[in-house]
Structure 1
Amino acid sequence: MRMTNTRLCTGLLALCAALQGCAPAQVATDAPQPLFNGRDLAGWELRTEPKAPAPDVFKVQPDGVIAAAGNPGGFLATTDSYRNYRLHVEWRWSGKPGNGGVLLHVSDGPMDRVWPLSIQVQTKKGAVGDLLPMANATFTEPPTSAPGTQPIIKAHTAADSERPAGEWNSADIVSRDGTIEVTINGVAQNRITNARPAEGKIGFQLEGAPYELRNVTLQKL
């Protein structure tokens, strides 16, 4: 007797479940939500050395763009923590290009100077898309930096896709249960697995160079 399509599909699903080889893909459960409200820094906390008022360091402009002064050294982080998400960030250098980064999974724990336990997506000029485990964070893939040197770096894998100074760049970052994938201006640039921590706050570094942010959104998966 010929098996109907329904019976065949049911049988295949049962077989996959038995073999534990058909785990459902994670899909978006919500629309992308802005992490900045466009008016002020509600939902964000600033940590700098020396201590500075957040509105003096990150200013919300009338068009909703966030202007970061670059100094003093430190980071701005969400008050909420996130796991399994798609993060979209757009940034550009408002002055001379310099150093900066997006911090993923900022967590309580050891600090490296003013840097928290986290995974950094590098936005430094010439190194955009590099991944750095900060303050004892870890992942499976070996670093590309020389053994014993600091900071530990896993360099981006494709040719540089950063845009010229003054133009807007975009980073699309997908985090799923410790796997982090980074795309810069539409080019896949890096991937790590078994990242620890695998969840936490989202942050932006201050490393001496002023920059601007816009369209910072997060979509839960």
Structure 2
Amino acid sequence: MNYYRTSLLTLILCLSLFTAIAQNTDELMFKPLFNGKDLSGWVDVNTSPDTWKVEDGILVCSGNPIGVMRSDRQYENFILEIEWRHMEAGGNSGVFVWSEGTPFKDNPLTKAIEVQMLELAWAEQHNQTDAYVHGELFPTMGMTAIPDNPRGIRSKSLEKRCKGKGEWNKYVVVCVDGTVKLSVNGKFVNGLRASERKKGYICLEAEGSEIHFRNIRLLELPPGITSEAQTAPLVD
């Protein structure tokens, strides 16, 4: 039953995207969120001036202190493409979508949907089962959503498709009307739906280890029917 429901949601999502593209051919295009030169378009929330820097067109994150950097505006429906590579075995990081763009109470991270980026050695280093892999999707800080492939409140990737330390990976994250679908290196392997929030900031995460990002770009899609309660508060 869950398989057919997920397949139907995917079909509806694809039809919505094709309709939007057909109706807005001249307006819809991918635009860079990172220009490869500086941090224009991004706001350091709670890290440090040394956490983020640009080297040879690559966004380098030292991982410390733990915290986030957010987009300078909110996004609702979109397709995000992002390439990343961990530089340390067992590295941990991620990108947050529909985020509040601020730390949550005493936690340095933010209320959002997290798209996790784990280096392959993380599970072994932390004595986790083989089922705990990169590309998990989950709501953070009390936010709610329904996982396609449940592991508690999280949704786990159905295939291991990431490359290890020092190698580039590509995520395509489709976010439409409370549904998130994740492609890892060319194949959709995970999803969740019914997100409590459907509009908010995009955040990159520093979580203790060096990670590099490049080719971050976004195709913004037409908005849906999103209430004030489903929209993250604006950050001054």
Give the alignment's TM-score, normalised by structure 1: 0.78
| Structure 1: gaps of 5 or more residues | 1-21, 147-151
Give the alignment's TM-score, normalised by structure 2: 0.73
Over the aligned positions, Cα root-mean-square deviation in angstroms equals 2.2
Answering whether residue 66 of structure 2 is matched by residue 96 of structure 1, we say no
Answering whether residue 48 of structure 2 is matched by residue 52 of structure 1, we say yes
Contact 1:110 1:136 in 2 (8 A): no
Q: Aligned pair in 2 of structure 1 residues 26, 194: CA closer, same or farther (>3 Å)?
A: farther
Q: Aligned pair in 2 of structure 1 residues 145, 90: CA closer, same or farther (>3 Å)?
A: same
Give the match for residue 175 of structure 1.
175
Deviations 1:39-97 (A, max 9, x none): 2112211223xx522xx111111x21111001100011101111111100000112334
Structure ID, larger Rg = 1
Contact 2:98 2:113 in 1 (8 A): yes
Question: Structure 2 CA distance, aligned partners of 1:177 and 1:153?
Answer: 19
Question: Structure 2 CA distance, aligned partners of 1:68 and 1:100?
Answer: 10
Q: Aligned pair in 2 of structure 1 residues 125, 108: CA closer, same or farther (>3 Å)?
A: closer
Contact 1:110 1:135 in 2 (8 A): no
Give the match for residue 68 of structure 1.
61
Question: Structure 2 CA distance, aligned partners of 1:110 and 1:35?
Answer: 21
> 117, 121, 135: which one pairs with 2:111?
117
Give the match for residue 34 of structure 2.
36
Give the match for residue 155 of structure 2.
154
In the alignment, residue 42 of structure 1 is paired with which amino acid?
Answer: S
| Structure 2: gaps of 5 or more residues | 1-14, 121-132, 222-236
Shift of 1:117: 1.2
Give the match for residue 3 of structure 1.
none
Answering whether residue 224 of structure 2 is matched by residue 218 of structure 1, we say no
Question: Structure 1 CA distance, aligned partners of 2:136 and 2:65?
Answer: 23
Aligned residues: 189
Aligned residue for 1:25, secondary structure, equals: helix
Q: Aligned pair in 2 of structure 1 residues 97, 110: CA closer, same or farther (>3 Å)?
A: closer
Shift of 1:31: 1.5
Contact 1:99 1:207 in 2 (8 A): yes
Q: Identity of paired residues, percent?
A: 30
Q: Aligned pair in 2 of structure 1 residues 124, 144: CA closer, same or farther (>3 Å)?
A: same
